[in-house]
Chain A
Amino acid sequence: DGGITQSPKYLFRKEGQNVTLSCEQNLNHDAMYWYRQDPGQGLRLIYYSQIVNDFQKGDIAEGYSVSREKKESFPLTVTSAQKNPTAFYLCASSPRDREAFFGQGTRLTVV
């Protein structure tokens, strides 16, 4: 079953903790993306990657980090430097010059 999988679906973080959100795709897509969605808001780009071992900052990269060691995987770490991390996080992948396919999302809450 092909697709893009995010885990966990819900995540709770204590203040000052780093947490990592998982994103895996078996679609053989080159590009992968992380977006943040706040209630009633649009999708803001955090990081994106065109190829393995390369990634670029999006519009709101501060307080986040990523890696792209494998084509299939693009994990996002929300660090303690991110002051307001509570949001819905969406991972996506796309073949070159094509639409993005989204995962189910991870809802992160700071407790």
Chain B
Amino acid sequence: GENVEQHPSTLSVQEGDSAVIKCTYSDSASNYFPWYKQELGKRPQLIIDIRSNVGEKKDQRIAVTLNKTAKHFSLHITETQPEDSAVYFCAAMYSSASKIIFGSGTRLSIRP
């Protein structure tokens, strides 16, 4: 069945350094890949997304890349700040069924 794998499960980086989170998906029919940030006790919120006809998208300090051939997509956060500490989830949408499958999450900690 459809599956999204996410790595690493935890990530600690020095403030100001970059963080990279990687995901792979199983269904080649997936065509939409959102990323969510979830702070403690709160709902997940969309931070960036990418569609399958685009290889890279950037929004200020956040960027997402997609390799359709390898079925990989990654989140890049540059110049990390304390407020970036949260759990990040990747997801893949199987648009034929409007089905959204999430990765297992990455807990990102920013060290001062």
User: Does A31 lie within 8 Å of B98, measured CB to CB?
Assistant: yes
Q: How many residues of A contact B (CB 8 A)?
A: 28
Q: Are A103 and B43 in touch, CB under 8 angstroms?
A: yes
Q: Are B43 and A102 interface neighbours, CB within 8 A?
A: yes
Roughly how many angstroms separate A59 CA and B103 CA in the complex, as a whole number? 13
Whether B98 lies near A43 (C-beta < 8 A) is: no
Q: Is A1 an interface residue (CB 8 A)?
A: no
Main secondary structure of the interface of B (DSSP, over half): strand
**In the assembled complex, which residues on chain B have CB atoms less than 8 Å from the CB atom of A35?**
102
8 Å CB contact of B98 from A41, A42, A96, A103 = A96
Q: A90-B44, A97-B32, A103-B43 given as contacts; is B93 within 8 A of A45 (CB)?
A: no
Q: Determine whether the beta carbon of A41 is less than 8 Å from that of B43.
A: no
Q: How far is the CA of A45 from the CA of B72 in the complex (A)?
A: 21
Pairwise interchain contact A102-B98, C-beta atoms closer than 8 A: no
A48 to B107 Cα, complex, angstroms: 26
The smallest beta-carbon distance between A37 and chain B, in angstroms, is: 9
B104's partner among A42, A92, A100, A104 (CB-CB below 8 A) is: A42
Which of B34, B43, B91, B99 interacts with A90 by CB under 8 Å? B43
Contact A48/B104 with A42-B89, A99-B34 known, Cβ cut-off 8 Å: no
Residue pairs across A and B with Cβ atoms less than 8 A apart, 22 shown, are A40-B107, A41-B104, A42-B6, A42-B89, A42-B102, A42-B105, A43-B89, A43-B105, A45-B100, A45-B101, A90-B43, A90-B44, A94-B100, A96-B95, A96-B98, A98-B32, A99-B34, A99-B49, A100-B91, A101-B46, A102-B43, A104-B42
Query: A: which residues have CB within 8 A of B?
Result: 30-31, 33, 35, 40-45, 48, 50, 56, 58-59, 90, 92, 94, 96-105
